[in-house]
Each structure stands twice: as C-alpha cells, then as structure tokens.
Amino acid sequence: MQTRQKYEIAVSGLMILMCFVFLWESWDLPPGTFEPLGSGPVPQATAAIIILCCLITINTARLEAKKSSVAEGTGEPLSIGFAVLMALATLVFVIILHLRIMAFAWMAALFLTVTIWGLENFKKKKFLPAVITGLIVGFAVEYLFTQVFVVDLPV
C-alpha cells in the first residue's frame, strides 16, 4: 500500500470521527423559533455530506491499494527529523508563551537559535549566525509588537 493511500484512509477516518463529535454536540440544539431549521440541521447536514464523501474516499483508496499492492518508493528522501525538531520546538515555544514565564524577546531568540542551528544539522560554524539572527529578530519583533503595535505580550 502506498503512503498516499494510507494517509487518505487515516485522514478520512479522522474527519469522520470529528463529524461524529459535531453531530453529538449538535444533537440537542433547540429547533428554530424564527424559521423551521434552527441551529442544528445545517451542521448536521454538512457533517453527513462529509461522512459520505470520506467513506467514498476510503473505499476508493482501498480499491486502489489492492490494485497496486507493490509499494512504490517515495520520490525523494524526506527529512522527518527536521520536521519533528520544528514541531517540538514550536510546541515548547507556545507553551512558554502561554505560561507567560519569560520575556517574549528572549524566548523567541532561544527558539530561533535552536531551530536555525538544528536545521543546519548543528554544524559548529553555524551556531554564531543562529544566535545573532535569534537575538536580532527576537528583540526586533518584541519591539515592533509591543511598542509600535500594542500587543499584550509578556516582556
């Protein structure tokens, strides 16, 4: 089975799941007072259409997968490591921002240093440029968004 079809089945499945969550939440909405529909039916109909389309997609993907059971090599090597680094660093960044325990400029600088250096494979000679970029962008962005535009950032 190819990667695309695996994704198709998994993502369609997730969408169906979300639709059921929405259907559940919309079930006891009151009927309309000014027109016959009310708040519930439109989301319910929308969810039903999505579920139908996703089921068709899953079915098509399974048929296709059966037809070409030989796994094809993917086009080019993907660097999953970089994506994971990016995702994890962003998550930590946002959590720190949420807790408001650090000035924005410093945490942006830290985030940038780690990710830039990481995307450069932690090469020694790239460390300094990463730090410098991090500090400049971090402080510039904080200045821009707290002084020029009044945003409620932790400083």
- 81-140 residues in contact with other proteins (CB under 8 A) are 82-83, 85-87, 89-91, 93-94, 97-98, 104, 108, 111-112, 115-116, 119-120, 126, 129, 133, 137-138
How big is the chain, counted in residues?
A: 155
Q: What residue type is 149 in one-letter code?
A: F
Are the C-beta atoms of 144 and 105 separated by less than 8 Å? no
Angle ∠(121,84,141) on CA atoms, nearest 5: 80
Written as six digits, the tokens of 5 are 């079809």
Burial status of residue 142 (CB atoms within 10 A of its CB: 0-12, 13-18, 19 or more)? buried
Compare residues 40 and 62 and give the one whose CB is closer to other proteins. 40
Interface with other proteins in residues 34-53 (CB under 8 A)? 34-40, 42-43, 46-47, 49-50, 53
> Interface with other proteins includes 28 (CB under 8 A)?
no
Q: Which of 70, 72, 77, 125 binds other proteins (CB under 8 A)?
A: 77
Interface with other proteins in residues 53-72 (CB under 8 A)? 53-54, 56-57, 60
